[in-house]
Structure 1
């Protein structure tokens, strides 16, 4: 609830895409300047794609009659889900999206309301509408509207499931036209899956669809027109009987609907898609116990082969919008399914595997690509756009698909995908993270989320009674279940004092001094928990300036051997990330330190999905103007030359020569192939000032400072951090991305 409420309520906002600073800007945006595009569109409606946002705008529309697995809770209650879907459109495919909730269960009223909005949108994504009304609504809107309309609950699931079935059949040597399939469930998603696989070659007579009553066969009295379209002659009257000898089970029904003993009766190498959420028709380990030869997919992220709609709908609409398609037809859905299937069969490039954590190669546990595979955007969108052109529903054409694929790759920031993977990796390998200032509301909220989302165990440092009281204030039902470490009663204090006294006794500290620090300084106490193995990472910084926190941590922890600790700020834009270093520690770095900072920051950039292009910044660009503070920068470049660094780097150069493509043209000898994404600052003053100015003035999300180079993963958050900032740093430290 805090996530949906904090900063500003909800998950979306509208921002202007053009300058709005001067009276001239406003006169162009509105009156009188707006009259020119108005007349152009009146003369030629196709010009709306050129002069307005319509060609990249999708409406996510629901009446709340089938919200997730929660049922009919009404239009208003569906708004958080629809906002979330709008965010996914933007996050995965750079499609602008607005959520619309219609307060009616009357299909005719719903249809009329949506149809009247055609001038506003380039596409319509219907969501969470109950069957059979969803069939009526989608069909009517497809007939009335001249833009793409898709009910994602039906077709999104169908496309991803079809991709997985293509690959499962490929692995088991089956041909789609010969397989025998049983579909359990006759709702919107199940019937859409059935229709799509038939369009792809599975024979009608080879598919038995079952609802709660059993198989649907000709003459059954209690079926509607949509179910009866899939009726086939069969003697089977139960799901168990229908499964005898079946090649494929496709379930979109209820938890536990498929019994292990029924799986035993299926054909050799059975294909089981148990997609009920959150609990599938049969758990994969249950199915594997009776049929080790089975290929299994579910809707869950904690098992292989997740059927996840986010693999499809953003990229399907992306391709459809880019050619101004008038519909999303069967050819486009099939093209999407085949593109997804083909991507899973390709070897994952090493750089993608390293950056995005895609460890599997094509096989029984990898028949569907990972949702964060960055290649999905270019492959699926291109396939959909081409299918729209080939099938005659495209109003624009793409002349060069290679250029189009490159433009798609450039639309998104890889950091966002990698961070998704980092959070998932943290869930798979949970760690103990020490939260040094657990009496602070912001820190405690982050620690609660760290535990609730399964990233690991938070170790809370603070006065026991104060932390427990805060947990109760935050409505935690079981405050005592959290591990709290208090220096007043911790069993670890004796070993801490001994360890730290051995470390500091020749630096002017008495045992009494050490005992006082352990008992009174939370950063020292928390660092000792880490040093002595009672935690695996640490987060602090909310109550004291960075330099003071770093001084206290350094009493206990050393840099990694041969390394220089430093800090990185990440400035994250819509389709770029810029890495600034060192923004925290080294006031006037030597040439050796600058070269080291460049190498390590380039490595972090690669771990976050970017090919580093490093610029050593200065007030001088290649000696103009001259100055006395340039030798260390030139020396760092020379050191990288000598060692043959495996990334692009250049310097000394002013920021415009590093970041502005037109200015870069003035220096054709520069070794940077494109604007820099790693900026190595000449000193702490310029670095820290730049990072804070950009954070305050630019308005883009910022991560950091992220501390690199300590012997144990320690992160020091800024004093102004909010709970999501602290959580991100804690997860990055726990996952080993930085530290």
Structure 2
């Protein structure tokens, strides 16, 4: 591949288990003979001296630090033996801080992983009906990977953890689960198949093909991969208020397997243990997760006393505080987060949403500058990823409250690597109706235009106008929203909840959320309809929420 991309064969010196491949060495097969060189060098140390690049897929530890010290300036070291590379990155950096190094391991920068290219080569070849995979298709794939590595990662990159990655010594290769790989590599391979004459089903509209691939990403759940990776980068403690529920237990096993968080389960130990055994789960209390015994926790007196001190001016007596803390696992979880014994919490699999929200609000305050809480819920289906606001909290919010929730939701969309495109929905199209509901959504537009002038949004508008850009420009040429909306803001709770649920069930969509916004701690209330996958996804979101808040404090 390197030669195909322009590296001169005469500049390559090869080495195998028998030593340097030199002209005249006996028993060379044709593949090795083409790299035989006229040289008197016979050891790895000799050929590494002065080299610009080391490429190894051999045995762990064979490239010694003293060899690396003799390489050319800014050497590139591709040490790909697994699980132990030819030299560990820290050893190479110690003697040559200027080196650029890649390994096959995921715990170091620049992981060389065939998952970066193979699925997408196959996808592009199959979609174009290629009769084979030729060199042109492979080199096109490599060039697309290189192009992606140079692209600005923006918010998508930050969701992978740490700083936003940018092209350089520690970011030469895209991460294996970068969702953009599919939409960049498969079209490049398909185009090369067409250009080289091996495509039996040429793709007529490449832009439409790319858009279709982008929709496929969302449907397969790859939208969550950046969030998962960031969650793994700094493990947070997530407490589950309904720790005995089977849905929670199955989800927690996946959370442990995926290394998304350290779980804390609230419940009765005997019930949790019995259900773990019955479900055939592998997790172990005290090892894989922490267990808070609701019948016998030494912190109980501290919990109710602290809760009483927080709520005594709201009519909560000591006896009521004791009773609530003993019977409401949501309050126990909230107090654990409040006291720093957990970093985030998940509840809502049992009980009513607004009842749970009331418990949370009795413990947590609001985010700085926020006047009220709100909830956003996403739906992933074959058309893409769509988000709806406010699906669970505010019954009939004011224009100011809707604008505030919209700004919070727009920020959170970027966690998924999605640039928000906001549609303020109404029965009215840009002033076609003059009544309080339409006027409210018009006022939301005015507030957002003043507070976030760069936000891609428009309204008030009907749902089909938000969906269809051509229609929107026909009825209102001066629209401030570009493309198809992905964040739909509704005038009240009825509208938002009805629209979200109809879209989900009628398109066989997968839900993300509800994502609770506005409270000053990472806390999320799910619903009784939540699946295992939804609990896992919300765990990752809660963990990343905790990371972001910790970084700010």
Measured against the shorter chain, the TM-score band is 0.7 to 0.9
The secondary structure found in structure 2 opposite 1:479 is coil
- Name the SS of the counterpart of 1:515 in structure 2: helix
1:536 maps onto 2:343 in alignment = yes
**Residues 1:485 and 2:292 are matched in the alignment:** yes
Q: 1:198 and 1:514 mapped to 2: Cα distance?
A: 74
**Structure 1 residue 339: deviation in Å?**
4.2
How far 1:222 moved relative to its partner?
6.6
Q: State whether structure 2 residue 478 is matched by structure 1 residue 672.
A: no
The answer to whether the 8 A contact 2:160-2:229 is kept is: no
Q: Give the structure 1 partner of residue 461 of structure 2.
A: 653
State the secondary structure of the residue aligned to 1:703: strand
In structure 1, the residue matched to 2:141 is 336
Does residue 1:611 correspond to 2:440, yes or no? no
RMSD between superposed Cα atoms in Å: 3.4
Cα deviation for residue 214 of structure 1 reads 4.3
- Aligned-residue offset at 1:627: 4.8
The one of the two structures with greater contact order (alpha-carbon pairs below 8 A, sep at least 6) is 2
Match of 1:51 in 2: none
Q: Shift of the alpha carbon at 1:451?
A: 3.0
1:504 positional shift? 1.1
Tell me if the contact between 2:515 and 2:525 (Cα under 8 Å) persists in the aligned partners: yes
**Cα displacement (A) at 1:421:** 1.5
Corresponding residue to 2:214 among 412, 418, 425 = 412
Pair 1:654–1:273, CA change in 2 (3 A):
same
**TM-score, normalisation: structure 2:** 0.85
CA distance in 2 between counterparts of 1:698 and 1:386 reads 32
Please name the residue that 2:307 is paired with: 500
Check conservation: 1:538, 1:715, Cα contact below 8 A: yes
Q: Find the residue that maps to 1:650 and give its secondary structure.
A: strand
1:463-504 deviations in Å (ceiling 9; x for gaps):
233334444443437433232122443333233222211111
**C-alpha contact (below 8 Å) 2:92/2:99 kept by paired residues:** yes
Counterparts in 2 of 1:309-324, with a 5 A limit? 309-317=114-122
After superposing the two structures, state which structure 1 stretch, 445-454 or 562-571, moved more.
445-454
Aligned to 2:355: 548
Tell me if structure 1 keeps the 8 A contact 2:367–2:519.
Answer: yes
What's the offset of the Cα at 1:265?
4.9
Aligned pairs for 1:226-305 (under 5 A) are 226-227=31-32, 230-232=35-37, 239=44, 242-305=47-110
Secondary structure class of the residue paired with 1:637: helix
Map 1:185-224; keep pairs closer than 5 Å: 196-216=1-21
| Residue 497 to residue 352, structure 1, CA distance change in 2 (3 Å) | closer
Compared with structure 1, are the counterparts of its residues 451 and 385 closer, same or farther at alpha carbon in structure 2 (3 Å cutoff)?
A: closer
1:591 and 2:399 matched: yes
Correspondence for 1:708 = 517
In the TM superposition, 1:351-370 aligns within 5 A as: 353=157, 359-370=164-175
Q: Find the aligned partners of 2:44 and 2:452 in 1 and give their Cα distance.
A: 65
Deviation string 1:631-684 (CA, Å, 9 cap, x unpaired) is 332332232244453223333333223224565355134433333211112221
- Equivalent runs, 1:370-449 vs 2, <5 Å: 370-371=175-176, 376=181, 380=185, 384=189, 391=196, 393=198, 404=206, 408=210, 411-413=213-215, 419-449=224-254
* Aligned position for 1:692: 501
Extract unaligned runs of 5+ from structure 2: none
Does the 8 Å contact 1:615/1:652 carry over to 2?
yes
The two structures have a TM-score, normalised by structure 1, of 0.65
Matches of residues 124-203 of structure 1 in structure 2 within 5 Å?
A: 196-203=1-8
Which position in structure 1 is the counterpart of 2:387?
A: 579
Displacement of 1:322 in angstroms is: 6.8
Whole-angstrom distance in 2 between the partners of 1:686 and 1:362: 45
Q: Distance in 2 between matches of 1:501 and 1:470?
A: 34
Question: How many residues are matched?
Answer: 540
User: Deviation per CA, 1:514-538, whole angstroms, max 9, x where unpaired?
Assistant: 1222222211111100011111110
Name the CA shift for 1:410/1:599 in 2 (closer, same or farther; >3 Å): farther
Closer/same/farther in 2, CA of residues 441 and 233 from structure 1, 3 Å limit: farther
In structure 2, relative to structure 1, the CA distance for the partners of 1:597 and 1:280 (3 Å cut) is: same
Deviation at 1:710, TM superposition (A): 1.0
Shift of 1:584: 0.5
Q: 1:441 to 1:386 in 2, by over 3 A?
A: closer
Could you tell me which residue of structure 1 aligns to residue 442 of structure 2?
Answer: 634
Q: Distance in 2 between matches of 1:317 and 1:475?
A: 35
Task: Tell me, in whole angstroms, the C-alpha distance in 2 between the residues paired with 1:398 and 1:549.
Answer: 52
2:178·2:226 contact (CA, 8 Å) conserved in 1? no
> Quick check: 1:204–1:232 contact (8 Å CA) kept in 2?
no
Cα shift at 1:210: 4.0
Distance (whole Å) between structure 2 residues aligned to residue 204 and residue 646 of structure 1: 52
Give the Å deviation of 1:397: 7.6
- Cα pair 1:345 1:362 within 8 Å, conserved: yes
The answer (yes or no) to whether the contact 2:422–2:485 under 8 Å persists in 1 is yes
Q: Which residue of structure 2 aligns with residue 476 of structure 1?
A: 282
Moved more, 199-208 or 548-557: 199-208
Aligned-pair CA distance for 1:296: 0.8
Deviation at 1:579, TM superposition (A): 0.8
Instruction: Specify the SS of the correspondent of 1:555.
Output: helix
Change (3 A) 1:201 1:695: closer
The alpha carbon displacement at 1:559 in A equals 2.6
Instruction: Indicate conservation of the 8 Å contact 1:205/1:233, yes or no.
Output: no
**What are structure 1's unaligned runs of at least 5 residues?**
1-195
Match of 2:378 among 570, 580, 588: 570
CA gap of 1:434–1:225, structure 2 versus 1, over 3 A, is same
Contact residue 227 and residue 416 of structure 2 kept, 8 A: no
Residue 513, structure 1, aligned to residue 315, structure 2: no
Change (3 A) 1:218 1:468: farther
Mapped partners of 1:203, 1:633: distance in 2: 64
The CA deviation at 1:338 is 3.6
Q: Distance in 2 between matches of 1:361 and 1:614?
A: 28
Match of 2:535 among 723, 726, 729: 726
